[in-house]
Structure 1
Amino acid sequence: MEKRNFSRITFNVGTVIKWQDKSLKGEVENLSLQGMLARITDPLPTGEEVEITIYLTGVSPQIPINLQGEVIRSSEEGLALKFIKMNTDSFIHLRNIMAHNTGDSSKVMDELFSFIKHKQESVDNH
């Protein structure tokens, strides 16, 4: 099992997962800078790439966060997704969500820098 490098928060907002010709609507159950668990009952194959849109509520107009992800696990709980690509705006929104909900923006940034350092060391060692 992969070790989590990021804090995870409960965050209930709408999401749409697009895979092939399907658009699956559901709700985000928990969220981190690295991935999320979405309550979606339709199973998807592990390892498949998907397009993810998370809809931030409470603002007008509603803000969509667009990401690309990979299905890590698919079960009755929902879909566990790892984020594999995001634009700068989406990253900033996720970082702000995490900082606000954990109440510790320095911890969020420390986790991010540690993750980047680990990834760079992995690249350097290969």
Structure 2
Amino acid sequence: MNNRKHERTDCQTEATIHYQGEDIKGVVENLSLKGLFVKTDQKINVDEQVGISVHFYGADADLSFNLQATVVRAAENGLGFGFQKIDIDSLALQKKEPALQAPA
């Protein structure tokens, strides 16, 4: 039985966990309005607070945002986080430059 309040969306995108001066790379496995799960071989104790940067790469633009989260689950293959605060001001959209074309 699934008692989740928010639907999770599967995704495969990069994340960087900022914890005690270290940057830990991982891959977001799923995401909801209140949390996410990051695949990583690094371990952080439950109830620890971290910063997370999530990066989405698209054909036309790249998008990233930062959030504050708490570790709510530690699993063999990664870490589950509950959001404390999403820094909307950090939302960065980078438009890719069109490829320069040589004159014909």
Q: Could you tell me the TM-score, scaled by structure 1's length?
A: 0.65
Alignment size in residue pairs: 89
Unaligned runs of 5+ in 1: 92-126
- Asked which structure has the greater CA Rg, the reply is 2
Q: Deviations over 1:7-53 (max 9, x none)?
A: 00101100000101111001000000100010011000110000011
Match of 2:68 in 1: 68
Match of 1:55 in 2: 55
What is the SS of the residue equivalent to 2:65? strand
Report the alpha carbon displacement of residue 87 of structure 1 after superposing the two structures with TM: 2.8
Q: Give the letter aligned to residue 10 of structure 1.
A: D
Match of 1:29 in 2: 29
Q: Give the letter aligned to residue 83 of structure 1.
A: F
Unaligned runs of 5+ in 2: 92-104
CA distance in 2, matches of 1:59, 1:45: 36
Percent of aligned pairs with the same residue?
A: 33
What is the SS of the residue equivalent to 1:10? strand
> More strand per residue: 1 or 2?
2
> More helix per residue: 1 or 2?
1
CA distance in 2, matches of 1:5, 1:59: 32
Match of 1:82 in 2: 82
Report the alpha carbon displacement of residue 77 of structure 1 after superposing the two structures with TM: 2.1
CA distance in 1, matches of 2:42, 2:34: 22
Q: CA RMSD in A?
A: 1.9
Check whether the contact 2:11–2:30 (CA below 8 A) recurs between aligned residues.
Answer: yes
Q: Give the letter aligned to residue 84 of structure 1.
A: Q
Report the alpha carbon displacement of residue 71 of structure 1 after superposing the two structures with TM: 0.3
